[in-house]
Structure 1
Amino acid sequence: MSEKKIKNIFVDGAITPDFIARSISNHSSKTDIGGHSIFMGQVRKDEIDGKLVAAIEYTAFEELALTKMHEIREAVFSKYPLSCMHVHHSLGTIKAGEICLFVFTSSKHRKPAIEACNELVEKIKSELPIWGKEIFADASHQWKENS
């Protein structure tokens, strides 16, 4: 594995609009970037068996998730000519309507940024040991299945 430091992707609580705006604005001075791709995962107020999802409580096997994310990060940087890659995932209880995942990729041209962002989201959802428990409006709960 690379000697690069493993980055912490986890954020306590929801990812705020201010955090997202700051992240985007920090890139305005990087004039060699021509394309950005952003994915924001938002908690949905789904109706399941007649009950509404009020929130999702995210937990993770953090050490393993961070190691795996580092491997994914290195593989994606090897595959695409990216300038920047940022991944942030919430832990804790995130209410319906709030952002729980923020993936932001940048490159000289749009296509690598878009493809890398899509690949990152798919790998995060399928390979990281992160779990979500759906909390319903009536305070009952169930474990969420990724789709």
Structure 2
Amino acid sequence: MEGPISPQFVADSIAKHQSKVNIGAHAIFLGQIRADEKEDGFVTGIEYSAYEEMAEQAFHAIREDAFSKFDLTCMHIYHSLGLVPTGEVSLFVFVSSAHRRAAFEASEYIVDEIKTKVPIFGKELVGPAGAYVWKENN
């Protein structure tokens, strides 16, 4: 997805699931860009890039793994590419299941897997001069 993930996109995604009456729980994770303080100023955004084919393969493997480990009804993963300003959403994970425990556990598992296995890279835009610094994942 190019640029930030809008609140309207998240709302529309939720609305599309109202007709799926076998779902009893949704877990939603939204990764938002923080204005962290760095040596040269505050982060004003993150520019995301990816090895897209490899990233899609990694997302597919994470989806398959999550469906085999947890009793899920459906799952959606969206990660931004391009510039995402502070305060905006760059990662949207939406997991649905019949019961809350599976949704909660799967959501945490999926986010952890994305952070460690998907080749998406972020350069933080820092300070008034707009210098780019490679982002380190925590």
Taking structure 2 as the reference length, what is the TM-score of the superposition? 0.97
Report the Cα offset of residue 69 of structure 1: 1.1
Find the residue that maps to 2:18 and give its secondary structure.
Answer: coil
Aligned match of 2:5 in 15, 30, 42? Answer: 15
Q: Does 1:144 align with 2:135?
A: yes
Please list, as runs of the form range in 1=range in 2, the aligned pairs for 1:1-147 lying within 5 A after superposition. 11-138=1-128, 139-147=130-138
- Contact 2:40 / 2:126 at 8 angstroms: preserved in 1? no
Q: Which runs of 5+ in 2 are unaligned?
A: none
- CA offsets 1:90-140 (integer angstroms, 9 cap, x no match): 000000000000000000000001100100000000111010000013211
- CA offsets 1:6-33 (integer angstroms, 9 cap, x no match): xxxxx00100000000001111111110
Report the Cα offset of residue 72 of structure 1: 1.1
Supply the distance in 2 between the matched residues of 1:119 and 1:80 (Cα, whole angstroms): 10
Supply the distance in 1 between the matched residues of 2:107 and 2:50 (Cα, whole angstroms): 21
Supply the distance in 2 between the matched residues of 1:105 and 1:130 (Cα, whole angstroms): 21
Report the Cα offset of residue 50 of structure 1: 4.9
Supply the distance in 2 between the matched residues of 1:96 and 1:20 (Cα, whole angstroms): 18
Find the residue that maps to 2:109 and give its secondary structure.
Answer: helix
Supply the distance in 1 between the matched residues of 2:38 and 2:126 (Cα, whole angstroms): 9
Q: Which runs of 5+ in 1 are unaligned?
A: 1-10
Give, as a single letter, the amino acid of the residue that structure 2 aligns with 1:14.
P
- CA offsets 1:52-73 (integer angstroms, 9 cap, x no match): 1000000001100101111111
Supply the distance in 2 between the matched residues of 1:142 and 1:136 (Cα, whole angstroms): 7
RMSD in angstroms over aligned alpha carbons? 0.8
Paired residues, number? 137
Please list every run of at least 4 consecutive aligned residues from structure 1 whose deviation after the TM superposition is greater than 6 angstroms.
none
